[in-house]
Structures are given as structure tokens and as C-alpha cells.
Amino acid sequence: TDELRRDIMRFARKKLAAAIAPRQIEFLPSLPKTRSGKIMRRLLKARDQGLPEGDTSTLEDD
């Protein structure tokens, strides 16, 4: 996955402005989604920063 990570970073640097290109890439087995299929970015941020997740009532059951 290190090679894939490097390829993604290289691609992002070519296609995106430096200010919005990702600084790091992390592979996860799944993403937290709502029942309607939207990615819950708030939960990703909370988990990354070790903060409380807050309301998860709309989280899709796996």
C-alpha cells in the first residue's frame, strides 16, 4: 500500500492546488455512513482527533 499511497499523493499534487492537496492518506476498512449513504466526515474528524463522536443516531448499521 505504500506504493499506492505514493501514487495517489503524486497524482493529487499534479491535479490539485498545493493548498488543497492531501497531506496524508490513510486507508480504512470502511467509512462511517448515514442510512442514506452519505459519508459522515464529522465522525472521521472526531475519531482522528480523539474527540467525542457526538450524535450517531443516523449512523448506518453494519
Residue 36 to residue 34: CA distance in whole angstroms:
5
pLDDT at 62 over 70: no
**pLDDT tens figures, 22-54:** 999 999 999 999 999 999 999 999 999 999 999
Taking the model in full, what pTM does it have?
A: 0.66
Residue 27 to residue 19: CA distance in whole angstroms:
22
| Residue of 7, 59, 15 lying closest to 37 (CA atoms) | 59
